Every structure is written in C-alpha cells, then in structure tokens.
Amino acid sequence: MSRTKNPTGFELLYARYYRLLFSTAYMVLRQESDAMDAVQNAALRLYTMDESLFPSDHELTWLHMVVKNEALMVLRKKKPEFRG
C-alpha cells in the first residue's frame, strides 16, 4: 500500500475505500452509526500505524480485515457482560 502520513494522501485512500469498508462494518453491526464509527476508528488506527506494517499486496483484503475486527470490537463494547 502506498500511503504516507500526508493528510491529503490519506484522505484520498479513505475516500477511495470508504463505501466498501462501510459495507463490511455494516454487515457485522447492522446499525449505520456503529458502522460509521467502526470505519472511522479503523481509519484512525491505520493513520497512526507504522507504515512499514502495511502489506504490499492485497491491500483491500487487509483493509476489510482491519475494519471487520474494529466492528467486532464495537460489538464487544456494546455487549452486556454475563455474570453468573
């Protein structure tokens, strides 16, 4: 993935994949606002991540995995704890 800490470059990357990533998050969460939060959280995580950790191949597959994991984290936070 060719990305730099340049905000403009990151905005282009975000705009390019937002709809696809939102769809991934929405399939997990089934709520628009939660899906938007998951994508934004993933974007923030990716923006602050060391660029050397980004894969050189299959970037979209990797991005889907990051967003799906972020969506699952949103679900875990919303799920009430079972105390038996």
Which tens digits make up the pLDDT trace of 31-46? 999 999 999 999 998 8
Long-range pairs for 10-17 at CB < 8 Å and ≥24 separation? 10/43, 10/47, 14/43, 17/60, 17/63
Of 56, 52, 53, 27, nearest to 39 (Cα)?
A: 27
**Alpha helices in the chain, H assignment, sequence order:** 7-29, 32-48, 59-78
Q: What is the CA radius of gyration of the chain?
A: 14
pLDDT tier, 2 (very low <50, low <70, confident <90, very high otherwise): very low
Task: With beta carbons less than 8 A apart as the criterion, state whether 64 and 24 touch.
Answer: yes
